[in-house]
Structure 1
Amino acid sequence: MSSISTDTDELYKKISELKENIVRLKQLKLELIEKVKKMREKRREKIAKAKELTQQINTIRQEYKMKLEEFNQLKERRKNLVEIIQQIRKDFEEVKKLSSQNLGNPDSIERKIRELEWKLQTSSLTLEEEKKVIQRIAELEKKLQDAKKAMKIKEKKTEEKAELLAKRVELNTIREKIKALVNEIGEKKNIIKKLVEERNKLRDEINNLNSEIENISKQIEDLNTEIKNKSNELNETQRRLKSLQENPVQVNTTEVIEKKKKSIEEKLKQNKRLSFEEFLILYGEVDNKDGKDNSNIR
């Protein structure tokens, strides 16, 4: 009976240890589940923040694009104004140059041309004289063209002076706008860069959280398997204890036979000779219902 008492104590001890292990594993599992919940909540917050940053980036990029288009339009307008101002200045220089030539009145020049043409038609001139008249008419026609041009420019000189002033004012305004736009575009570019860096950092953190969550989820699965195995082992141990308590002689005899079988199997593996009783134990039929066996084991 002392052997049965020892077996019972060992089973009680094992049951106690298994229960403690199961409680410990379940507690660890709950802690991991709570940790995963917090990490998933943290991940949701970071995903929401990343989406918010993406919206901000898209909005500022659109503003950046609009400012860039405005900048290009102003550059084109500035180019046109510079060309207009240069043309007006060129006209003024040409008026100044023509005025210094003392071109005279266009009407007077035209009258002289008509007189020379009449002379060609009505007078008997030598070839040399005719050549000189024709040359003179050509000179007067060139002078007439310059005189008309000078008069035309003079007529709008006052208008062009006002236009020149207006264009200069507009040019200065555009230059200031371009300067301000360059600063705005640079600021928006820097903001976009910072937001993209922040979003990329968040994405890295989200990826790290995904890895951690996946790792912890695997640990929880392993714990579930371990808890299940421990629970099965606990059930089997409790079953053995109950069986021992209900039929101590049968259980004890069966355990003795199992131990002897293992010893005989080891002997057989070593190619050692077996006794008749050992053959009966290894291959015979054992009847434990009444606490006896047909192997005559003592």
Structure 2
Amino acid sequence: MSSEEAMYKEIAALREELKALVEQREEMSQELARVREEISNIINEIRNRREALRQINSRLKELRDELSKLRERRRELRSKLKEYVNELRDRKRLYQEFQPGLRLQIDRLRKRIEELEWKIMTTPYLDLEEENRLVAEVARLEKQLELAEKAQRIRSEVLSLRNSINELRRELEEVLHAIDERRREIGEAKARRDELRKEIDELASQLNEKKRVREELKQRIAEVSAAVREKNRAIRELLRKVRELEARARMSEVQRLLAAKRRAVEEKVKRGERLTFEELYLLYGVEENEGRGK
């Protein structure tokens, strides 16, 4: 096998290796593009979950603020309810004391007092004993009227306090229900927050792994690219050597043909035959060139 053939065989082998390397690099480049897309998707997922986590934390703050206000309102309502209950207890005790006055008819008492007072003022020649009796009766009726009016006021106060207490209890029940609802919402928000944190940690772990794979692929692509450049360099070098060998071979063949033709011309000279211009140039031009070369 000639040197040219050996070089061509080596070039063919290098080109096969180069083709395999280029295909390998293309596959890794496609894999790198896929990994980069996955990294971008994971980053977007992390960003979305962090935004959701921010909203959850904001909502938790709102719920805690609301819960704090509700607890303060609960404290106020309980304090006020206790105050009203104590006041109702006092009014009930007074109510028991003045309860007999409720049986008295206020309008009738007022009318009777007015009648007696009118009689005292308009009856002529009213003796002193009768006048004293009427005055005493008016005084007695006024005490009864005062008792009846006070009993009526206490009764109204008791009813008003009961209404206020019922209203406070209703509002307190609503506040307690709202507190339970806020606690439930806070519990759900905390659970969702923990889920998001766990998801973010898992995604961050996936992101780190994908980045590791990306850097590994970039390193391998760089190594293969270096190998591709080296193969190309080796192929170019072999092609250069082949061209040099072929050029030398062609030059040797030309020189061989010229030498053969010159020998034929020299034979004609020996035989005394006439030479053509080309034959003269071949004979003497070559000699001149050889002389210069020397």
**Is the 2:95–2:155 contact (alpha carbons within 8 Å) kept by the matching residues of 1?**
no
Q: 1:22 to 1:227 in 2, by over 3 A?
A: same
5+ residue gaps, structure 1: 103-149, 251-298
Select 1:81's aligned residue among 73, 77, 82: 77
In structure 2, the residue matched to 1:26 is 22
Q: 1:153 to 1:61 in 2, by over 3 A?
A: farther
Alpha-carbon distance, 1:93 to partner: 3.2
Question: Structure 1: how far apart are the matches of 2:209 and 2:3?
Answer: 51
Question: Structure 2: how far apart are the matches of 1:62 and 1:153?
Answer: 52
Alpha-carbon distance, 1:182 to partner: 1.0
Post-superposition Cα deviations, 1:77-112, rounded to whole Å, max 9, x if no partner, equal 11111111111222233445667889xxxxxxxxxx
In structure 2, the residue matched to 1:181 is 182
The structure whose residues are more often helix, as a share, is 2
In structure 1, the residue matched to 2:41 is 45
In structure 1, the residue matched to 2:141 is none
Question: Structure 2: how far apart are the matches of 1:78 and 1:151?
Answer: 33
Q: Percent same amino acid among aligned pairs?
A: 21
**Is the 1:91–1:153 contact (alpha carbons within 8 Å) kept by the matching residues of 2?**
no
Aligned AA (1:170): E
> Does residue 1:59 correspond to 2:55, yes or no?
yes
How many aligned positions are there?
201
Question: Structure 2: how far apart are the matches of 1:207 and 1:42?
Answer: 12
Question: Structure 2: how far apart are the matches of 1:45 and 1:153?
Answer: 76
TM-score by length of 2: 0.62
RMSD (Å), alpha carbons: 2.8
- In terms of Rg, which structure is larger? 2
Aligned AA (1:244): L
Aligned AA (2:46): A
Q: Secondary structure at the match of 1:176?
A: helix
| Alignment map for 1:64-213 (pairs within 5 Å) | 64-95=60-91, 156-213=157-214
Question: Structure 2: how far apart are the matches of 1:239 and 1:13?
Answer: 15
Question: Structure 1: how far apart are the matches of 2:243 and 2:88?
Answer: 122
TM-score by length of 1: 0.61
Question: Structure 2: how far apart are the matches of 1:240 and 1:155?
Answer: 124
Question: Structure 1: how far apart are the matches of 2:37 and 2:68?
Answer: 46
Question: Structure 2: how far apart are the matches of 1:91 and 1:163?
Answer: 11
